Amino acid sequence: MKDVNFSSNQQQELHLSMIENAEYQKAQNQEIKLGAEQGLDVSMYSNPEFNWLQMEQIRMGLQDNVDASLYANPAYSYETMRQIRLALYSAINLIPYLQKGFTDEDLEEIRLALLDKLPIDDWLADNMCAPQIREIRIGLCEQLDVSAYADIQYNWMQMEQIRLGLEKKLDVAIYANYLFSHFQMREMRLGLEAGLDVSSYCGLVYSATDMKEKRLSLLSRKTTKTTVTAGTDPVFDSLRKNEFVISVEDNGNKAYAYIPWVPGNIVTKEDIYRDLDRREITYGIKAEAISDLIEKRRMNEKVLIAEGIPAKKGKDGWFEFFVRLDLPRIPAPLPDGGVDYVNIEAFEMVDKGEKIAVYHRAEKGRDGKNIYGEAMHGENGAEQKPLRGVGFEIAPDGVTYLSKMNGKFEYLNGRIVITNMLIVREDVTSVTGKLEVDGSVYVIGSIYSGGYIKASGDIIIEHNVETGRLIAGGNVMIKKGSCSKRDCFIDAGGEVSGSFFEAANINARGNVKANYIMNSNINTMGKVIVSGSKGVLLGGRICAVKGVDTYNLGNSTHLKTLLEVGRNELYEREQALFAEKREQILNELAVLEKGWNKLLQMIAAKKEVSKDMVRKVHATITVKGQELADLDAEASKLANETDNTVKAPICVRGNAYGGSMIVINTIKYMLSQEISRVVFRLRNKQVVMVTL
């Protein structure tokens, strides 16, 4: 297919149809931005067919001056790219292995083998999987004769049993038969390690369970061969016994001697050393322990007589943080069961250039040696992925994370989020004027008549709110609470919380929480929660999709209190928005698919078509398809959560008074008398009460 361009009309039509997904592009744009800031040639990965993880691997390769073009291919997964990149640091080329069909995990094992200069190519088969390659790599690393098991007919668990036998210098030919399961191989290997004659059960007719029973039976009858010393008294010789057991444990790293108390049992140091020699145990022998065992006649006691140096895995990479990650997201409880909103630490502040974290790189492993004198390979620690998020930068040393601004620090779901925060050290009134901030606002005071704050992040008020309007893209917290004459308006993209709300108008995407709420108009896609034995939800209208949980509801004067939960007007409005967005995406997909079909027709007619245009249209269709799937999943999740809410939508843990109107999924119920500790729920399209 030749590289040419569409006509201007065709380009305009397709360009207008390509409405990219903002969230999908955000991470991609971040990678391109990082590369540009580092002075890299970002054209290598400025392609919508690369997801942001693939872009990250290409950027890291360019940053480290390796030939990233070798793996800058949208067909490669980001993990494949990662393995190729890591290999290039050691001048290792994994492309030929990739072309043979080896997958991500396979490539990692091959890379590690080549890194240790092991002849892995001599034993690789095209259809081997990563665990099989790993067993061959370990065997080569320990200088074993891997020809005994480096065969595709063995699964990796069978390979492991043969390798373990080779490590102990056993005659693995006895069980190196691919017809044996790895369980059967294990029983034969354990028998050989114990010095048993396994010929009595090494047939295919025996199951692994049968083999285990026979091995244990032989082991219980096993004693070491009686040593006959030349020239001893025949009478003494007939009474003398020479019984002891040397057991090898901890994967060949420890050997123990056990001398049972038996009349006439005499064991010498020469007996112990002779058996150690027979077993080829040559390293880490504890001469003092053997002398102590014999001279002090430590019978019926398991004594360590040889110990190797275990291989030690290197410490994994880790992050050291210099800011608190454990701020109490949940306020402390009060004696009456309420919540202390006043003294909660809502956030951590950082300054521009402040050190946020330092990454400590993984440490190399330490090799060991077993009691047979064989080297044991210590694995290197694993490196951690760089921290992700916004509002910070990485210093030239590559490990120090610094704040890019004076702002609020949060560590959410493994991501650093530093956003601008305006600190207002006075009350906010009409005189102060409108405050509009791209970030969060912290008011060390109160909000009075005419106060107005609009923030893309959180709004935190240290004291009270009387009148005014608060609009937040995130959460709103009013530590001491809000009391007004219905002229307090709060809109939040997240939660709204405070000690109390009286005559407040609240719209929230998240929960609304307080110790009492009175005569307020609340609309929330979440839940309304009133805590504490003195907590009360009284008067007003509460419209909460996910339910209400309060201690007391209404009062003895039968003040009207309206609760609407479940599939109420908020729920229907949200589902209508989902349907509207879905229709919009479907229309966009229709335009894109029309353009795609035109491209296919042009290609079929052997007309010149731009490859870039083909890739862009295909990538846009993929993105819009994912956007549609995500939208459907979100609508389904809301429906499922609402169905679960209806099982116990309104819970009153104290007293519920007459005058309260309960509406669940538009079905109404008027409470006519006082009742205690009750749950209101739907049953057979009627609101019923169930005692807690």
Position 403 scores a pLDDT of 93
Position 336 scores a pLDDT of 66
Of 9 and 377, the one with more pLDDT: 377
Mean pLDDT lowest among 129-133, 245-249, 339-343, 382-386 = 339-343
User: pLDDT tens digits for 83-132?
Assistant: 999 989 888 999 999 888 888 888 999 999 998 889 999 999 888 888 99
Of 510 and 348, the one with more pLDDT: 510
The sign of the torsion formed by the CA atoms of 117, 123, 124, 129 equals negative
> Is 267 part of any domain?
yes
> Is 611 part of any domain?
no
Q: 379 with 257, same domain?
A: no
> Is 604 part of any domain?
no
Question: Rounded to 10 degrees, what is the CA torsion of 184, 187, 188, 193?
Answer: 150
Instruction: List the one residue out of 622, 459, 569, 540 whose CA is nearest residue 20.
Output: 622
Does residue 223 surpass a pLDDT of 80? Answer: no
Q: 287 with 356, same domain?
A: no
d(CA 382, CA 379): 9
The total number of residues shown for the chain amounts to 692
SS (H, E, C) 72-90: CCCCCCHHHHHHHHHHHHC
Does residue 141 surpass a pLDDT of 90? Answer: no
d(CA 261, CA 299): 5
Q: 275 with 324, same domain?
A: no
Position 343 scores a pLDDT of 62
- Exposed e or buried b per residue across 342-374, where buried means at least 16 C-beta atoms within 10 angstroms of its C-beta: eebebbeebeeebebbebeebeebbebbbbbeb
Question: End of a domain among 382, 397, 412?
Answer: 412
User: pLDDT tens digits for 438-455?
Assistant: 888 999 889 988 899 999
Q: Quick one: average pLDDT of 637-647?
A: 73
Question: End of a domain among 307, 334, 364?
Answer: 307
Position 337 scores a pLDDT of 62
Q: 252 with 203, same domain?
A: no
Q: What confidence tier does 619 reach under pLDDT thresholds 50, 70, 90? A: confident
Tokens encoding 308: 């190797």
Q: Quick one: average pLDDT of 58-65?
A: 89
User: pLDDT tens digits for 551-607?
Assistant: 999 988 888 899 999 888 888 888 888 888 989 989 988 898 888 888 888 888 888
Position 524 scores a pLDDT of 94
Percent of the chain beyond pLDDT 70? 90
Q: Quick one: average pLDDT of 165-192?
A: 90
Q: Quick one: average pLDDT of 331-351?
A: 68
Q: What confidence tier does 359 reach under pLDDT thresholds 50, 70, 90? A: very high
Percent of the chain beyond pLDDT 90? 30
Q: 326 with 303, same domain?
A: no
Q: 292 with 325, same domain?
A: no
User: What's the domain range around 345?
Assistant: 318-412
Tokens encoding 29: 């744009």
Q: Which helix (H) or strand (E) element contains residue 452?
A: strand 451-455
DSSP 394: E
User: pLDDT tens digits for 302-320?
Assistant: 899 999 999 888 999 999 9
Does residue 16 surpass a pLDDT of 50? Answer: no
Instruction: List the one residue out of 227, 246, 247 whose CA is nearest residue 237.
Output: 227
Mean pLDDT lowest among 52-61, 178-187, 340-349 = 340-349
The pTM for the full model equals 0.51
> Is 493 part of any domain?
no
Position 7 scores a pLDDT of 44
Place of tokens 């140096």: 309
Spatial contact of 347 and 327, defined as CB atoms under 8 Å apart: yes
Position 452 scores a pLDDT of 93
How many domains in the chain?
Answer: 3
Q: 203 with 272, same domain?
A: no
195 burial level (CB within 10 Å; 0-12, 13-18, 19+): middle
Dmax over Cα atoms in the chain, in whole Å?
117
Q: What confidence tier does 345 reach under pLDDT thresholds 50, 70, 90? A: low
Position 318 scores a pLDDT of 92
Q: Name the E strands within 315-372.
A: 318-321, 332-333, 339-340, 348-350, 355-360, 368-369
Q: How far is CA 652 from CA 326, 512, 662, 673, in A?
A: 32, 16, 12, 14
> Is 286 part of any domain?
yes
Phi, psi of 442 (to 5 degrees): -120, 115
Q: 117 with 192, same domain?
A: yes
> Is 579 part of any domain?
no
Residue 28 half-sphere exposure, CB side, CA atoms within 13 Å? 15
> Is 326 part of any domain?
yes
Position 502 scores a pLDDT of 93
Q: Angle, nearest 10°, between helix axes 104-115 and 130-141?
A: 10
Instruction: List the one residue out of 597, 594, 574, 598 whose CA is nearest residue 586.
Output: 594
Q: 136 with 280, same domain?
A: no
Q: 363 with 259, same domain?
A: no
Q: Quick one: average pLDDT of 648-653?
A: 87
Position 213 scores a pLDDT of 83
Spatial contact of 660 and 553, defined as CB atoms under 8 Å apart: yes
Q: 267 with 402, same domain?
A: no
Question: End of a domain among 412, 427, 460?
Answer: 412
Position 573 scores a pLDDT of 86
Q: 282 with 342, same domain?
A: no
> Is 203 part of any domain?
yes
Of 40 and 339, the one with more pLDDT: 40
